[in-house]
Homo-oligomer: A and B are copies of this chain.
Amino acid sequence: MAIKPLTVWLTPSGPNPWKVVLILDELGVPYEIESFAFDHVKDKPYTDICPNGRVPAIVDPNTNLTLWESGAIIQYLEEVYDTELKLTYESLNESHLLNQYLHFHYGQEKGADVLSVRFNVLHPEKLPSIIERHNGQVRRVLGCTFADLAFMPWNTRLDFVLMTKPREDPLAPYPNVQAWHQRMVERPVWKRAMAVRDKLMDDQGLMPNGMPKGDQQYPRV
């Protein structure tokens, strides 16, 4: 039976919704995007979908489930739609070690990025060095897992987060992380998602980096 398209509610400037888009695309699950301005994240109709007023949220007409929190959505999509194990592992231990890295992303990277964006207190070497140290701890037999994808939308903002100089690659000191990141950005799903994101940003008068067009404060795009 054909899968009915899921709806993904998002504000294009938020990193977290794109994790969900990437995973839907990798899994070949049909979906439609409901894009709206960040200014309305705490307003109806969105708060009828997600009373917490954070993006993303999904509505799945196949199961009649409305779900928010990107980490929970990723785990739901994996359970229901990754029956061919495209982005995960079969064995108990490997699947939980993989899940550990999803939580590592939420607890460490995303947490550190959010702190840094808000307060600029991140110790810049902390995050990539830990990834570097553990790279390969989970065997990447598949080349790409749901945890890899979950890292991407924040990874590509590290220059902004760490306030590196123009054209300086924040991952340069970490060759394994840099190589992993390069493999990920070359995936067709990432290119497709970023093309959609740029268009949805443009629809809202935003540059690809989420800043208003004409704003010269953040010239790097």
Contact = CB atoms under 8 A, between A and B. Distances in A.
A213 interface: no
- Stoichiometry, copies per complex: 2
Contacts of A75: 75, 96, 99
A68 B97 CA distance: 9
Given A76-B96, A108-B52, A119-B119, A69 B133 contact: no
A98 to B, nearest CB: 9
Nearest to A74: B103
Interface in A59-99: 63-65, 67-72, 75-76, 79-80, 92-93, 96-97, 99
A156 interface: no
Interface residues of A, number: 37
Contacts of A51: 130, 133-134, 137
A106 interface: yes
A219 interface: no
Nearest to A69: B103
29 contacts: A51-B130, A51-B133, A52-B104, A52-B108, A52-B130, A52-B134, A54-B107, A54-B108, A63-B92, A65-B92, A65-B96, A65-B97, A67-B96, A67-B97, A67-B100, A68-B100, A70-B103, A71-B103, A72-B100, A75-B75, A75-B96, A76-B99, A106-B106, A106-B107, A111-B111, A111-B114, A115-B115, A115-B118, A119-B119
